[in-house]
Amino acid sequence: MTTPWERVKRTLVGRPLRTKSLERQLLPKRLALPVFCSDPISSVAYATEQIIMALTLGGLALLHVTGWIALAIVAMLVIIIVSYRQTCYAYPGGGGAYVVSRENLGVNASLVAASALLVDYVLTVAVSVAAGVDAITSYAPGLERWSVALSVLCIVLLTLANLRGSRESGRGFAVPTYAFIGSVYVLFLAAAWRLLSGERPRAVSADFTIEPLYQPVGVVAVFLVLRAFASGCTALTGVEAVSNGVPAFRRPKSRNAADTLAIMGVLSITMFSGITVLALLTHVRMTDPDHPGRLAGMPAGYVEPTALAQIGEAVLGHGFLYALLQASTAAILIMAANTAYNGFPMLASILSADSYLSNQLHKRGDRLVFSNGILLLATAAAVLLVVFEANSSRLIQLYIIGVFISFTLSQAGMVRHWQRTGPRTPGVRRRQAVNALGATVTAAVLVIVLITKFANGAWLVCLAIPGLFALMKGIRRHYDQVRAATTPDTPVELPGGAHAMVLVSRLGSPALQAVAYAAATRPAGLEAVHVCTDENVSRELREGWERYAPSSVPLTMIDSPYRTSVGPALRHVRDWLALHPGQIVTVYIVDYVTGRWWEPALHNRLTARLRDRLLLVPGVLVTLVPYRLASGELRAERQPRDATRLAVLARQPADDGDQAGTPVED
């Protein structure tokens, strides 16, 4: 029977796809770019802003080093992209840092990498959505008080889009991704035209003065520069998602993934460099929201726009192109979360296959995506946004630590991989040198990020990663114990006999039906058991038993001086097992089938308690005998019509060739 919830689900998510349709869900490069690279591409929208924001803690004196910091970040991006291109070829099965670390550095290193990546993916969703909402409120300041609600709404929409499948989400996210790329390059062309014409665009904040929070001299100046570098490294986030998702690409998978990574690198480097140059030319000023009141000369009611918004306004004015830039920026910042929506579920599935996360995360859903992983990611990110009030500046302080942990472990693992490959492999030394450089540089940046961001909230991530590591260890230990306990070591021995007990609460059709069902199984022995909690009920049962019940089924009456049913029933079962070692007992309990949502609260409460307690007794099997109430009968009458309709659908050809109708769900 199709429930209302299932009909809503089909409307929002779509019809199920057959397993053989998985090949059709693989992504070409034009769709893989927005699916896997929207995060690093969108990061250019706020990476320069984060550099300027950190430097202005020392006033205007350090802004001249913005370009040098950006150049260092570009060099880092080149190194990491070249390194991960090699990972795509070496590990076409995906998994990224986790798989590389597992095979080359050991289990503990791989779980550290996995923990860091999982935390980073959650933060990617939270930061991307919060930054996207910031772009919206920069254009429409009146919406700022609704930031949290807008952020949660965006997560809901992203989740629904991803539950529909990879190709569908790729098509939907391609438009805002390419619109943002086009808008930024149009911004560059317009700025070049104005500069060549002799004009010098100025940001709205160019004439504001900044009161330094710290005096930028000596060690303080070095610390502020390192902090700005660490903040700007947000431009590097999301690069590893392509290596994690190689299996989602069309064949040849490794080559297409590596090419997509290279295209992303070219776009990110040119866009980040261009935005940084324009920020310097237009004299953009930004302040840290955690230290308000340091930007002097602001008009009353001034709401500080983002750096990209200030550049766009200075170069494009307030016309259509500026509105398009802001709209596409907001869209891609929100869509950037899609990188995590593809990386997190895939990594969780690999971890689940290795028994480090719940088995539920390994299964693909109706649309051939890892639905449970998507829902888990969305829930965690939504909670984070509510707790941090959708404040992107506060969330960014937690960001990129996990990124550089996974970067470092992945590159170190690749060095070991090339070492194990052997020196005779062509080009192995060059590849090993590239990965060694990547591991060294990312490790150094990790130290810088930890030092500069620890007190600003990064300590939360330093607690979350070990906590997740311990959780995955505990899950694996549990699954190992279950496997050890359930693995047969000797041939199975048949029990000496099977005894059946029917728990009877009162005389009626449900109890008699349960007795008849138990008798039909031909047990070695059969008895009805009644716990006497009400004298009148017990007397009525005793008097009617001989009249309505089979004569071959004895009725055992158990006294209950404290008017409880569960304890006396358990004792009776245990006593029987003690007297008959080597035998088993099947306990039959009536279970009422209802048709209305509120009726289960009125029935089956005692049934549930008895079942749960009996299942803990060795040698006991529990069988629930259904008895349909009137509402349950009406519900059952609708089942044949639904089943017939589904059977007809199953024989009809599907519209898109992916499926033959909608199957009945388990």
Q: How far is the C-alpha of 456 from the C-alpha of 433, rounded, in Å?
A: 35
User: What is the 3-state secondary structure of 188-251?
Assistant: HHHHHHHHHCCCCCCCCCCCCEECCCCCCCHHHHHHHHHHHHHHHHHHHCCCCHHHHCHHHECC
Residue 463: burial class (beta carbons within 10 Å; 0-12, 13-18, 19+): exposed
CATH assignment of the domain containing 43? 1.20.1740
Regarding whether 177 and 58 lie in a shared domain, the answer is yes
- The whole-number pLDDT of residue 661 equals 40
Regarding whether 241 and 306 lie in a shared domain, the answer is yes
| Residue 387 placed within a domain | yes
- The whole-number pLDDT of residue 271 equals 95
Regarding whether 558 and 473 lie in a shared domain, the answer is no
Regarding whether 134 and 39 lie in a shared domain, the answer is yes
- In DSSP notation, 479-508 reads HHHHHHHHS--S-----S-EEEEEE-SSSS
| Among candidate residues 440, 438, 456, 67, the one with its CA nearest the CA of residue 273 | 67
Strand 555-559 relative to strand 584-593: parallel, antiparallel, unpaired? unpaired
| Among candidate residues 605, 577, 428, the one with its CA nearest the CA of residue 497 | 577
Domain coverage including residue 304: 4-406+449-479
| Residue 125 placed within a domain | yes
| Residue 415 placed within a domain | no
| Residue 464 placed within a domain | yes
Regarding whether 522 and 471 lie in a shared domain, the answer is no
| Residue 421 placed within a domain | no
Residue 586: burial class (beta carbons within 10 Å; 0-12, 13-18, 19+): middle
Residues in the chain: 666
| Residue 664 placed within a domain | no
Residue type, 269: I
Angle at which helix 107-139 crosses helix 29-55, to 10 degrees, equals 80
CATH assignment of the domain containing 541? 3.40.50
Regarding whether 312 and 216 lie in a shared domain, the answer is yes
Regarding whether 359 and 217 lie in a shared domain, the answer is yes
Regarding whether 117 and 37 lie in a shared domain, the answer is yes
Regarding whether 326 and 237 lie in a shared domain, the answer is yes
| Residue 655 placed within a domain | no
| Among candidate residues 232, 239, 241, 218, the one with its CA nearest the CA of residue 449 | 232
- The whole-number pLDDT of residue 8 equals 65
- The whole-number pLDDT of residue 68 equals 93
Ordered mean pLDDT values, 10 residues apiece, the chain (666 residues): 60 62 70 82 86 82 89 91 87 81 92 91 86 77 82 88 69 82 95 91 82 74 86 82 80 90 93 95 79 54 78 90 88 79 86 89 75 91 88 74 87 88 78 87 86 78 92 93 79 76 90 92 92 89 88 91 88 92 92 79 79 90 88 58 39 42 38
Which residues 6+ apart lie within 8 Å of 504 measured at CB? Answer: 511, 514, 515, 528, 529, 530, 541, 555
| Residue 291 placed within a domain | yes
Regarding whether 463 and 507 lie in a shared domain, the answer is no
Regarding whether 589 and 465 lie in a shared domain, the answer is no
Quote the number of domains for the chain. Answer: 2
- The whole-number pLDDT of residue 653 equals 42
Regarding whether 262 and 162 lie in a shared domain, the answer is yes
What single-letter DSSP state applies at residue 663? P
